[in-house]
Amino acid sequence: MWVWDLVFLSITALLVVFFAAIGKSLTGRKLGIFINGRNRIDLSRFQVVLWTLLILPAYATIALERIRWLPLPPLPGNDPLQITMDPRLWALLGISATSLVGTTLTSSEKKKKEPENKVFKQMEDKLRIRVEEQLQRPTEVEKIEILSKQRIAGLAAPDENRQAEIREQVRKDRLNEVLKQSARPLKEAETLRQGLLAGNGSVDDAKFSNIFEADEVSGLNVTAAGNQTSIGSYIDISKVQMFFFTIIAICTYAVLLMNQFAQVLPASMDSFPALSDGLVAILGISHAGFLGNNAVDHTPHT
């Protein structure tokens, strides 16, 4: 019946409000429950929270209705909380918990290691090359600056050599300005790192894209100040795969639960819908790939 769908959604909404409240209270952000100790939104936390928001309200909906229809006095062996969980569901929840614990363990090991000095030097060199390429095409502001310097130099008549010198000087001045401004984010990245792992300065810097980004400093996204040029950031494909497999699995199981609520009264339900072996296997492989990739050091270290 649709009323039980509404009960299920209401309990889910209450949990969402609760998670948002504790996140706001403890971190200052409503999404604080997803943020790890490095002030980044964490994929393992994200998928554990989503499974909690699905399974706990479903269990509460079934249990509350079974308690409401419990005969008085209760019959022997009639336990309203005796709700059977499909073993595959337990396996899936165990896989998610293992990913959370596994990433914590691998992260603790990476925090003990120090990146080689050349790591940030290479990032600075890459940034310089990218900015130089970008500055080969003068902006409108630079064109005006070039014309202004030409007038000051008294180049009303064409003088190709002198004009070329002025253009090159303007380009160099702009390059030095951008790189000087960009030294700060590079320095901050080096200061905020925890071992090989990248970190943010505060919870306010955490963003949803952290879920798909590499965790180590070698995969940092460093943007040249005042310029759209960036280096270092790359997408962690194992995270992308696990994210979408998790979303698909949760949506699929949510539909199964809603259908069961629509067809059977929760008071007569004594088990959760069964999952397919294939879905559990796919998620298991996805999590194994994620943990395997996370265990490897991608940043040269001492």
CB count in 10 Å sphere of residue 111: 15
Q: Are 170 and 146 in contact (CB under 8 A)?
A: yes
Which amino acid would we find at residue 123? M
Q: Are 249 and 283 in contact (CB under 8 A)?
A: yes
Question: Residue 53 has what pLDDT?
Answer: 93
Distance of CA 229 to the CA centre of its chain: 22
Structure tokens at 109: 């090991």
Q: Could you give the CA distance from residue 80 to residue 69 in angstroms, rounded to a whole number?
A: 9
DSSP element (H, E) containing 230: strand 230-231
Question: Residue 219 has what pLDDT?
Answer: 74
Q: Are 200 and 39 in contact (CB under 8 A)?
A: yes
Name which of 212, 234, 240 is nearest 222 in CA terms. Answer: 234
Question: Residue 33 has what pLDDT?
Answer: 94
**pLDDT tens, N- to C-terminus, the chain (302 residues):** 567 778 888 999 999 999 999 999 999 999 999 999 899 999 999 999 999 999 999 888 888 877 776 665 555 556 777 788 888 888 888 888 999 899 989 988 898 888 887 777 777 777 777 666 666 655 555 555 555 655 555 555 455 666 666 666 767 777 777 666 666 667 777 788 888 888 888 899 898 988 998 888 877 766 655 544 445 567 888 899 999 999 999 998 988 888 887 777 666 777 788 888 888 888 898 899 888 888 888 888 87
Write down the pTM of the prediction: 0.76
- In the three-class reduction of DSSP (H, G, I as helix; E, B as strand; rest coil), residue 90 is classed as helix
Question: Residue 205 has what pLDDT?
Answer: 87
Q: Could you give the CA distance from residue 196 to residue 187 in angstroms, rounded to a whole number?
A: 15
Q: Could you give the CA distance from residue 178 to residue 207 in angstroms, rounded to a whole number?
A: 25
Question: Residue 229 has what pLDDT?
Answer: 46
- In the three-class reduction of DSSP (H, G, I as helix; E, B as strand; rest coil), residue 223 is classed as strand
Domain edges within the chain: 2-113+237-295, 118-192
Which amino acid would we find at residue 167? R
Question: Residue 41 has what pLDDT?
Answer: 93
Q: Could you give the CA distance from residue 214 to residue 224 in angstroms, rounded to a whole number?
A: 19
Q: CB burial class (10 A; 0-12, 13-18, 19+) of residue 75?
A: exposed
